[in-house]
Chain A
């Protein structure tokens, strides 16, 4: 079974600054996806960024980037130039990519507050 751990229940950052959210996971599989999802107060979960485990290059989406360390089983999210709209719960998630279906295993989440 896979587990995902987010060790920071809450974080805050000043607007325009950079913040890094941590995530570690445990699996014996070698082929998988990793995701960061954002859940704003309105509750709809939105995909922020995803990473395929076989890709060594870290994924980047505009102000969002990841630091994927496969050997260390670490997958952190960096948010640059933080904006007030980034205030949300952030969930790290894991999915096997062996055609076993769409089953996400989520971490406990990090509540991020961006302060003006």
Chain B
């Protein structure tokens, strides 16, 4: 059974640009969550999508957005990139939302903003 797949694995952008990251969950999983990991702030929750609906959103500015498609694949977008957006972005999938609590993580997308 394939795990959670995130693309691209590495990318470099410049300030002011925008970026789109993709996450394909484990087959059958309907919940996709996104986390930002930085050395200074640690792991912070961005948002969760379940059956194409955003269930929760973390404390991030509106430049961070996401969506989920009918096949449960999810994308997150960051517009007007800032240097502080440099981070590892982790995606996690789960069969359900708020019931079992078991999340499976991808390897992440490493974003560097210059």
Contact = CB atoms under 8 A, between A and B. Distances in A.
A33 B45 contact: no
B48 A33 contact: no
Contacts of A45: 90, 92, 105
Contacts, number: 73
A96 B100 CA distance: 10
A45 B94 CA distance: 14
Contacts of A104: 33, 35, 43, 45, 92, 103
Nearest to A46: B105
Given A43-B107, A44-B105, A102 B90 contact: no
Interface in A6-40: 33, 35, 37
Contacts of B58: 103
Interface residues of A, number: 26
A45 to B, nearest CB: 4
A39 to B, nearest CB: 8
A71 interface: no
A90 interface: no
Interface of A: 33, 35, 37, 42-47, 50, 91, 95-109
**Shortest 6 CB-CB distances between A and B: which pairs?**
A45-B105, A106-B43, A101-B55, A33-B101, A99-B98, A101-B56
